């Protein structure tokens, strides 16, 4: 009987050394929805309109999803294609359950979601692929920053390294849904 008591004490001591494995936290997952075409411009007058949806998890970092885009050139003409999310770079939460001081669903959240994406379009019969960084802004939550380009703060930025930086929000509408 003493031996059984000793074994129980040793097992309890071992479990207390590894609390993370006994009480592992559930990862926070979100859906993201670009509810309307999010339009943003670059310094040359080009614009891009982006739609899409997907899912991401903060820890461990993961993202999946995609959508479509149309690049409108300042000198007239456009290119339409698709985008696919590849890597979650960062998520800065603004909080949940309130927008501009008004209560909404507690699972509706805001923030800045930054992800690495692949953009694909066919131009003149040739399929072109470019890497980009898409940042989705949603002002839901009690803590959105005042640093967005338009009065609502909803929209996107799309950086295509070596090509252009669409970083002037024109219009948008997004939401993150906490699962």
Render pLDDT for 104-144 as a digit per residue (tens, 0 to 9). Answer: 999 999 999 999 999 999 999 999 999 999 999 999 998 78
Per-run averaged pLDDT (10 residues), the chain, 179 residues:
35 36 66 96 97 96 98 95 98 93 94 97 95 96 71 86 95 95
- Of 10, 178, 20, 26, the closest CA to residue 110 belongs to 178
Domain segments of the chain as ranges: 26-178
In this prediction the pTM is 0.83
pLDDT of res. 100: 82
Written as one string, the DSSP assignment of 19-71 is HHHHSPPPPPEEEEEEEEEEEEE-TTS-EEEEEEEEEEETTTTEEEEEEEEEE
Nearest residue to 157 via CA among 140, 176, 134, 173: 134
């Amino acid at each position: 009987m003493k031996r059984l008591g000793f074994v129980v004490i040793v097992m309890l001591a071992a479990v207390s050394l590894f609390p993370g494995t006994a009480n592992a936290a559930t990862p926070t997952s979100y859906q993201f929805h670009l509810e309307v075409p999010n339009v943003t411009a670059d310094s040359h007058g080009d614009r891009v309109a982006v739609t899409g949806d997907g899912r991401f998890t903060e820890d461990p970092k993961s993202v999946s999803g995609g959508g479509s885009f149309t690049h409108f050139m300042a000198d007239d003409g456009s290119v339409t294609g698709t985008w696919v999310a590849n890597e979650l770079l960062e998520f800065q939460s603004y909080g949940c359950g309130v927008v501009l001081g008004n209560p909404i669903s507690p699972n509706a959240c805001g923030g800045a979601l930054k992800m690495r994406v692949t953009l694909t379009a066919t131009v003149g019969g040739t399929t072109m692929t470019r890497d980009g960084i898409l940042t989705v802004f949603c002002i839901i939550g009690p803590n959105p920053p005042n640093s967005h380009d338009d009065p609502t703060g909803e929209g996107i930025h799309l950086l295509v390294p070596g090509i252009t930086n669409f970083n002037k929000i024109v219009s948008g509408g997004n939401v993150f849904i906490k699962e």
